[in-house]
Amino acid sequence: MTEAAAPGRGGSPARRGAVPGPRPTGAWLPGDDPGRRRFVTLFEGAPLRLELGGELGPVTVAYETWGRLAPDGGNAALVLHALTGDSHLAGPAGPGHRSPGWWPQLVAPGGPLDPEQWFVVCPNVLGGCQGSTGPASPAPDGRPWGSRFPALTVRDQVRVEAALASRLGVACWAVVVGGSMGGMRALEWPLVAPGRVRRAIIIACGAVATAEQIALCAIQARAIRLDPAFAGGDYYAAAGPGPAAGLGLARRLGHVSYRSEAELQGRFGRGPQPGEDPGAGGRYAVESYLDHQADKLAARFDANSYLVLSRAMDHHDVGRGRGGVAAALGSVTAQVTLAGVDSDRLYPLYLQYEMAELLPGRPEVRLVSSPAGHDGFLIEADQIAKIVADALA
């Protein structure tokens, strides 16, 4: 293992305080301010063999930690982010971090994973764009991976997280928790690495990707690929914003599925954006909202990572190669807590109830009450914190 505060271009140290200029990706790149990130390099000798074929190595993982690992290793908690999340679980926006922490209530003093008691780890996922190896990262030849980056599955990502755990001295996680794509990884953890997690808290996901979920991802992927600036995935050397238009369109579509119809109607209705007239070429307020979400994502994310991670979610199927979903879930030995959002139309509650029927002990499904739809697993952070605290009591 190689571990350092941050890698730099050509082996040079990271430029703390560096502000990236206009460029065709919102990815964190070597030389950018690392913020709270730490880095570890894995699979330096033998590369990671990928589930769908091919291999990848070495692999860099960016991660953040809170608290200290107990001498007996029994206080380790792994928190896993969703599609466009990153390792910045808690903390303010600032140098190195364009957004504040996304679940800060979990690791706050007095929270369910209080750093005074817990050693909390949050990695950026393999294939992501905030410090871990992904399409924007330098390949072994020094050029960005771009279109050459291999296809991944959730299981590949969990295997990398398991290697990270070993390097951090964590033999077994007391708890693994995640929502949406992070929930898929939390679900795969007891299956990929049985005996290395005592409890999994799985929020707002299912055991397999549904046809509708795959269809929505397909439309978003097509929007990115049809952007002329996408250049077949090899846009990193270009001037300008790269495929920001295609990524923004994908985000607009995705964001509608992340929210509920009732929430959008209640917040915006048919109201115009202040100062604009929709009848004269202006925007409705909900259109302005989607534009804002698109611009925010393009500033901090990478189009290729969006494609790679979305496709990994399409491949999500815990029953693949394990005799089917029922057999796979029935073999889980870790304690499982399930939770879902009552207004979620992307990962509706029936998916969590289906898992509960197949898991040993038929665990209760905890409800997150929110008008916000799928994004309720992030917005209702106090409710999530209560679910985690109850699971660990």
All structural domains of the chain, each given as residue ranges with its CATH number in brackets, are 2-209+317-392 (3.40.50.1820), 213-311 (1.10.1740.110)
Looking at the DSSP assignment, which residues form a beta bridge with residue 94? 97
Pairing state between β 55-56 and 59-66: unpaired
pLDDT score at 343: 98
pLDDT reading at 19 higher than 90: no
b/e map 83-119, b = 16+ CB within 10 Å? bbbbbbbbbeeeebbbeebbbbbbbbeebbbbbeebb
pLDDT tens, position by position, 112-140: 999 999 999 999 999 999 999 999 999 99
Quick one: average pLDDT of 224-245?
Answer: 96
Confidence bin at 296 (pLDDT 50/70/90)? very high
Own/partner contacts of 279-288, CB < 8 Å, gap of 24 or more, are: none
The residue assigned the tokens 């991944």 is 152
Report percent pLDDT > 90 for the chain.
93
pLDDT score at 377: 98
Instruction: Give me the catalytic one of 132, 137, 180, 370.
Output: 180
Quick one: average pLDDT of 219-239?
Answer: 97
pLDDT reading at 12 higher than 60: no
- Measure Cα distances from 62 to 134, 161, 168, 169, 385 in Å: 11, 11, 13, 16, 24
pLDDT score at 14: 36
Radius of gyration of the chain (CA): 20
Quick one: average pLDDT of 330-336?
Answer: 98
The residue assigned the tokens 């496709």 is 311
pLDDT score at 8: 33
Quick one: average pLDDT of 327-355?
Answer: 98
Confidence bin at 7 (pLDDT 50/70/90)? very low
Whether 180 sits among the annotated catalytic residues: the reply is yes
Report percent pLDDT > 70 for the chain.
94
Whether 316 sits among the annotated catalytic residues: the reply is no
pLDDT score at 149: 98
Instruction: Give me the catalytic one of 32, 156, 344, 375.
Output: 344
Structural contact between residues 153 and 320, judged by C-beta atoms closer than 8 angstroms: no
pLDDT tens, position by position, 58-75: 999 999 999 999 999 999
Alpha carbon 96 to its chain centroid, in Å, reads 18
Q: Which helix (H) or strand (E) holds 77?
A: strand 76-80
pLDDT tens, position by position, 241-252: 999 999 999 999
Confidence bin at 77 (pLDDT 50/70/90)? very high
- Measure Cα distances from 10 to 30, 31, 263, 269, 331 in Å: 9, 9, 48, 52, 46
pLDDT reading at 223 higher than 50: yes
Question: Prior bond to 58 cis, omega within 30?
Answer: yes
pLDDT tens, position by position, 278-289: 999 999 999 999
pLDDT tens, position by position, 348-379: 999 999 999 999 999 999 999 999 999 999 99
pTM: 0.94
Whether 81 sits among the annotated catalytic residues: the reply is no
Distance CA 91, CA 365 (A): 30
Mean pLDDT of the chain: 94
pLDDT score at 15: 33
pLDDT score at 152: 98
